[in-house]
Structure 1
Amino acid sequence: MAQRSTFLLWLRSALYYLGFYPVTVLYALLCLLIGPLLPFRPRFAVLSSINYFYIFWLRVCCGVRVEVTGRENIPASGAFVVVANHQSEWETLYLQLLIRPQVVVLKRELLKIPFFGWALALLKPIALDRSDRRGALRQLLEQGTDRLKNGLPVLIFPQGTRVPAGKMGRMNKGGAMLASRAQVPIVPLVHNAGLFWPGKSFIKYPGTVQVRVGAPIQADGRSIDDLHGEMALWMEQAMRELGAID
């Protein structure tokens, strides 16, 4: 029975990727043609629309659904820094639908992925060279402040890399530093996607990904340590409540 269940999970996941890869290649080619012709906001709307298909197809093939609480905490206008935990490839797809438009902080290597990375490069990501820690921080603060001044929310994964479900990992202060420098609020966000789409896992498990958005944390007149402490405490407590960490 267990072998049969595993085979069915593998089969459903294979079906997901049979739709994912061809659609990604075709849509990326279209985006590479028309994306450079569009201003950033309509460009983001067009390029990220493929994510609606990804999330729909994931639900159809693998039974993975989404439930969001605290959506009202996302500012309706103005710039802000979003900090989210990093457990899965899932959040790189869904969070572009939850916060629109946005600029994401990512590792530079992702832009080298054929088709997907090439199209992603059109969305003004802050692509960091993680081998140069000082240079990466300087780049984050300079480019992040520029994006925020232009009214674009910036998404940061303070854990820096994917952390398996059940583990917390270390949270860096980049998000708090950027919010303090630009004097914009931090919006903390957590989820438990790693329970259903483990990082680098082929098999996806049916269930409902819980996403929780916290109230904005105002940066006015507060120290970086104070901002980071409040952000990290809220995220850890919320992740425990969602079962994302032990």
Structure 2
Amino acid sequence: MRTPKATPILFLRSLVFYAGFYPVTIVFSIICLIVGPLLPFRARFRFFTLLNAFDIAWLRICCGVKVSVTGREHLPTQGSYVVIANHQSEWETLYFQLLIGPQSVVLKRELLRIPLFGWALALLKPIALDRSKRRGALKQLLEQGKARLQAGIPLLIFPQGTRLPVGKLGKLNKGGAMLAVSSEVPIIPVAHNAGLFWPGKSFIKYPGTVEVAVGPAVDTRGKTVEEVHEATAGWLEQTMRAQGSLD
């Protein structure tokens, strides 16, 4: 499956989407900066992600992008865990905070420098990595990630490291597997094909249904990092192919 041809109607629908998306994001970010520090983390997360709920609903109304989730039952209802997912669109950064919450997400440090939005995002306890320092970034991921997990906060990691276009898998790093094994918590792979409908860095959005598949949790106790990585990466690749987002 490939993204259809852009048309003037799709451009117009996307324009309407952004006409609502940006003003609401700016205003709500200001509110979050005022209210956020007054709330405990879990309540703060629920409040902040009202914006995500608006964005996903507005995207459906304006651009016809829907979502279908399978395997939601694999997400634990209590305790901490690690989630790894493919990264091919801005869409998953919005929706996954609704699917997995509360959570701490691993992201690039530059995002926290975005005025208003980035400052508000910093209040959600992300792990902001400096990708130019690979060894230091891994140490930071393991140290801060373990602290988040010990506090009962699930962790979301995109092992590809950056957004890749539909059809590309790239190299999946082992940081998520290392963290899950060292912390003895389950690791859950999640695959999606959002790039077919919201291609990375694309202005135009395409109507259709994003397929999200949540895989079975992998018990890391007594397993090596390599065993855990192979199990989750293999499931991720197989499921992406089935969803039509991987050559």
TM-score normalised over the length of structure 2 = 0.97
Q: In the TM superposition, what is the alpha-carbon distance from 1:155 to its structure 2 partner?
A: 0.1
Structure 1 runs (4+) greater than 4 angstroms displaced: none
Task: Report SS of the residue matched to 1:232.
Answer: helix
TM superposition shift of 1:23: 0.4
Partner of 1:131: 132
> Structure 1 CA distance, aligned partners of 2:40 and 2:95?
22
- The alpha-carbon deviation at position 55 of structure 1 amounts to 0.3
What letter is aligned with 2:32? C
| Alpha-carbon distance in structure 1 between the residues aligned to 2:6 and 2:78 | 46
- Could you say which residue in structure 1 is the equivalent of 2:225? 224
Residues 1-246 of structure 1: matches in 2 within 5 Å? Answer: 6-246=7-247
The residue identity in structure 2 corresponding to 1:42 is A
Cα distance in 1 between the residues matched to 2:235 and 2:172: 12
Contact 2:6 2:204 (C-alpha < 8 Å) held by counterparts = no
User: How far, CA to CA, are the matches of 1:115 and 1:7 in structure 2?
Assistant: 32
Tell me how far 1:194 sits from its aligned partner: 0.2
Matched residues in 1 for 2:119 and 2:80: separation? 26
Q: CA deviation at 1:229?
A: 0.5
Whether the 8 Å CA contact 2:83–2:187 is kept in 1: the answer is yes
Structure 2 residue identity aligned to 1:121: A
Q: SS state of the match for residue 7, structure 2?
A: helix
Residue deviations 1:193-244, cap 9 Å, x none?
A: 0000000000000000000000000100100001000010000000000001
- Displacement after TM superposition at 1:114 (Å): 1.5
RMSD over aligned CA atoms reads 0.9
Q: 1:98 to 1:225 in 2, by over 3 A?
A: same
1:5 Cα offset (Å): 6.1
What do the CA deviations read for 1:43-99 (whole angstroms, capped 9, x no partner)? 101111111100000000000000000000000110000000000000000000001
Q: Deviations over 1:142-188 (max 9, x none)?
A: 00000000000000000000010111111000000000111100010
Distance (whole Å) between structure 1 residues aligned to residue 92 and residue 9 of structure 2: 24
Q: Distance in 2 between matches of 1:167 and 1:205?
A: 19
Query: TM-score scaled to structure 1, two decimals?
Result: 0.98
Counterparts of 1:170 and 1:61, CA distance in 2: 34
